[in-house]
Amino acid sequence: MGRNTDSLARSYTTPWTLRVYDALPGNPAAIGIAFAIALIIVFFVGRAIVGSAADSGDLRVAITQILITAYSASAYAYLLMSARRTTQDLLPVAQHLPGWQTVVDRAGKHPWWVLPVIGAANYLLIGVTVTNATTPDPVNPWLWQDWNYDVFWHRGTTVLFVWWISCFCYVAVVESVRLSRLSSAIDSIDLLNLQQYQPLIRQGLTNALLVIGAVSILSLFAVEARYIPVLVGFWIAFVLLAWTSLMLPLRGIRRKIRVARSEELDWCRQRIMPSRDALKAGDDPKQSFAEIMAYRALIEDIRNWPFDSSTLIRFMLYLLIPLGSWLGGALVERGLDIVLS
C-alpha cells in the first residue's frame, strides 16, 4: 500500500509549461505578449524569405492562431500559478485539516501522463474536426504539398493551441474541484467572517476571466465566414465553462454556509420562544427578543454563495469582452484589406 501511495505521489509533477514560465522573468501576461511578438516576427520574416503571396484570409487566420497559441500557453500557466496561490491563501482556515501538506504539495501539479493524453486526444477530436470543417471544398486539408506558407503555420499552431487550450480546460475543472473539496472539509465556519474565503471567489473570477479571454481571441476568427458555424459551438461551450469555473471552486464552501445558516437559524428559533413567552408574561427576558430577531435577520440576509452582486456584475461584464474583440477584429480586417489591396 505504501509503495502505491509513493508511486502516486511521484506521478504528480509540475507541467512543463509551468516550469518554463516559472523559469522566465516576468509575469505570465508579459511572457505571453513576448511569445506572441516573437512568433509574429518569425512568421513575417519567414514569409518575406519564401515570398509568400497567399490571400489575406490565410494571413488573418495565421495571425489569429499565433495570438491564441501565445494566449493559451500563458492562460494555462497563469491558472496553475493562481491555483497554487489560492491553496496557500486558504492556509489560515484549512491548515488543521488532515493531509493539508499533501494538498499544498499537489496544487498546480498533475499526473505526468494525463495532460499529454488530454492534449493529444483533443487535437485528434477537435483540431482535426475543425480543420476539416473550415477548409473550403474541394481542397484536401491534409495534402501538405498544396499548403502555402501561411497554411503551414495554420497546421502547426493548431496543434499547439488546441493542446494548451485542452490542458487549460482540464486544469480549470480539476483545480476547482480540488479547492471545493478542500473547503468542504473545513470543520466549522464563521458566518460573520466570510472574508477569509475570498481566495475562492478570486479563483473563480480568475477562471472565468481566462476562459472569456480565450473566447475573445477565438472571436477574431469570425471575420472569416467559414469559421462562424464552428465558433457558435465554441462560444456556447466556453460561456458554460466560464460559469462552471466561476461556481465550481465555491461549491464546498456553499454547502458549509448553508449548513451553518441552518444551525444558526435553529438556534434563533430555540431562543425566540422562551423570550417571547417571557415578554408576554411581562418578565424581563434573559435575552432581548429584539436582539434575537435582529440576529436572525442578519443570518437570513447571508447568501449561500459567498459573494455579492458585484461578483455577478463583474462576470456579466466579462461576457462583453468577446464582443469588443469581434469589433476590433472587424476593424483590423478592414485595415489589412486596405494595406494588402
Is 185 domain-assigned?
yes
Is 285 domain-assigned?
no
Give the three cell numbers for residue 340: 494588402
* Tally of domains in the chain: 1
| Tally of CA atoms within 13 A in the half-sphere of 9 that contains its CB | 12
Is 177 domain-assigned?
yes
Q: Which residue's entry shows cell 465550481?
A: 248
pLDDT of residue 336: 53
pLDDT of residue 2: 45
Give the three cell numbers for residue 56: 489575406
Cα torsion 325, 327, 331, 333: sign: positive
Q: Which residue's entry shows cell 497567399?
A: 54
pLDDT of residue 123: 92
Is 272 domain-assigned?
no
For 30, the domain range is 13-251+308-340
Is 202 domain-assigned?
yes
Query: Which of 82, 254, 275 shows the shortest CA–CA distance to 181?
Result: 254
pLDDT of residue 85: 93
pLDDT of residue 333: 58
In this prediction, the residues of the chain whose per-residue pLDDT falls under 70 are 1-10, 52-56, 276-287, 324-341
Is 288 domain-assigned?
no
Q: Compute the distance between CA of residue 167 and CA of residue 14 in angstroms, rounded to an integer.
A: 13
pLDDT of residue 170: 95
pLDDT of residue 310: 80
Query: Which of 193, 184, 164, 182 shows the shortest CA–CA distance to 18?
Result: 164
Return the amino acid letter for 221. Answer: F
pLDDT tens-digit readout, 20-52: 999 999 999 999 999 999 999 999 999 888 876
Q: Compute the distance between CA of residue 252 and CA of residue 200 in angstroms, rounded to an integer.
A: 10
Is 289 domain-assigned?
no
pLDDT of residue 34: 96
Is the link from the previous residue into 274 a cis peptide, with omega within 30 of 0?
no
pLDDT tens-digit readout, 264-311: 999 888 888 777 666 666 666 556 777 788 888 888 888 887 777 788
Is 180 domain-assigned?
yes
Angular region, 282: left φ>0, alpha ψ -120 to 50, beta rest: left
**Cα 70 from chain centre:** 16
**Cα 250 from chain centre:** 14
